[in-house]
Structure 1
Amino acid sequence: MPTLINTLLRLFVVIVLVAGLIAIWEQIRGNAVMSRFRRGDNTTQSIVLKEVTSLGRLELVKYTFKDIVEHEQINDILPNSNAVLIVEGEATGCLDLTQITLADITAADDSIIVQLPKPQLCGWKINHDRSRVYDTRFSFLNESQLVSDAYRQAEHQIRQAALTGGILEQTRQNADRMLRPLLERISSRKIKLTFRH
């Protein structure tokens, strides 16, 4: 009996010591005490310029969306996998000014008519820094694919929401509001902006 008590007492002391050492180690790591002994970092990179592209898109409006996405993968044998994401994304409306030619600019007595290209949705994306996976269920076999599919569906929904939310019309209005006064000031003439269909 006394040997059993001694063994249990020793085991308890060892557990307390290990827990204490773990707590001390976490404290050292958290307070960056060891970083005082580090001299710096060394990173090696080899960047090569791959391509230079001329851009002529004038971004005129940006919509920001927040959404809760519930995505389900239907399985044959296993239970269906679910993912719930809290997603923030954005869509941008723009005009491609590289499409303007001299034929699109006509001058009358005291006015100029400029035909602009059709407004377009020039970009939409998920802001991954502000999005997160809230919950997943039954995704133990392929969680990364489940989350990836959910983000893809969310990105598609952002595009649709921007189009149905009137981003192209807002782009058209912002173009008239921003470009017309600028062109009138430069040309000292009345400017009328029209858009291709």
Structure 2
Amino acid sequence: MLYRPFARFLVVALLVIGVLTLWEFLRPLPLFARFARGNQNLGGVVLKEVTALGKLELVRYTFKDIVEHSQPRTMLPNARAVLIVQGEATGCLDLTRLTAADIETGDTVVVHLPQPELCNWKINHDQSKVYDTEYGFLDESALVDGAYQKAEAQIRQAALNSGILAQTRQNADKILRPMLEKVAGKPVVLRYTNTLTR
């Protein structure tokens, strides 16, 4: 007798899983495109904060990658999203940290610059797309958001691994030093402080 309610529950659970799986496979077909919701944009832009900038951007790396992200589940199959992403990372010097004490004058001008840092890294959503999702069901947006966060972290790590900070130093020597020499009328040497980079 106890097996009969359990058997009914098992049949219903398998039926629900089967219907959701079938919907996942049929949803991308053109026949079901009419069930997609239209976009609605509401709201206005409000200025929240004004920040003074002093970071000199010296190099930008552009990356393209295929990112696979999965969410493990206990009862259902693991949800999976595959993205084709394009992103960028920028190396810069924070000139707001320069003080008069960082500039030594004489026959040669010595400028003690802050260490190069990774100013920003981001995904270009206009040039990225969701290639495929599986078993996302009701939390597909959270699955895709998690995939984009993973992709953004990979862009940051790829930039650091590709030597963006060393390239920022080289570009500072090529771009900043000649400008300072022209202004000072003397040879300029760029040195870097021992502060940590981001």
TM over 0.5: yes
Structure 1 distance, partners of 2:94, 2:172, is: 12
Q: Would the alpha carbon gap of residues 57 and 67 (structure 1) be closer, same or farther in structure 2, given more than 3 Å must change? A: same
Structure 2 distance, partners of 1:59, 1:46, is: 31
Q: Would the alpha carbon gap of residues 152 and 177 (structure 1) be closer, same or farther in structure 2, given more than 3 Å must change? A: same
Matched, 1:180 2:177: yes
Unaligned runs of 5+ in 2: 1-41
Matched with 2:114 is: 117
Equivalent of residue 143 in structure 2, options 129, 139, 146: 146
Counterpart code for 1:159:
R
* SS of residue paired to 1:118: coil
Counterpart code for 2:136:
S
Deviations 1:141-191 (A, max 9, x none): 211111000000000000000011101111111011101111111111000
* SS of residue paired to 2:158: helix
- 1:47 deviates by 5.1
Structure 2 distance, partners of 1:104, 1:56, is: 16
Unaligned runs of 5+ in 1: 1-43
Matched with 1:93 is: 91
Counterpart code for 1:152:
Q
Deviations 1:98-155 (A, max 9, x none): 10001100012x2100000110001000000000000011111211111000000000
Identity, % of aligned positions = 62
Matched with 1:77 is: 75
The alignment of Structure 1 onto Structure 2 pairs a total of residues equal to 153
TM-score by length of 2: 0.74
Counterpart code for 2:157:
Q
Counterpart code for 1:147:
V
* SS of residue paired to 1:143: helix
* SS of residue paired to 1:153: helix
* SS of residue paired to 1:141: helix
- 1:50 deviates by 2.9
Q: Would the alpha carbon gap of residues 87 and 101 (structure 1) be closer, same or farther in structure 2, given more than 3 Å must change? A: same
Larger radius of gyration: 1
Matched with 1:163 is: 160
Structure 1 distance, partners of 2:46, 2:82, is: 39
Q: Would the alpha carbon gap of residues 47 and 158 (structure 1) be closer, same or farther in structure 2, given more than 3 Å must change? A: closer
Structure 1 distance, partners of 2:66, 2:144, is: 13
Provide runs of 4+ in structure 1 moved above 4 Å. Answer: 44-48
Deviations 1:11-53 (A, max 9, x none): xxxxxxxxxxxxxxxxxxxxxxxxxxxxxxxxx9865433221
Structure 2 distance, partners of 1:93, 1:137, is: 36
* SS of residue paired to 2:66: strand
Counterpart code for 2:149:
R
RMSD of aligned residue pairs (Cα, Å): 1.5
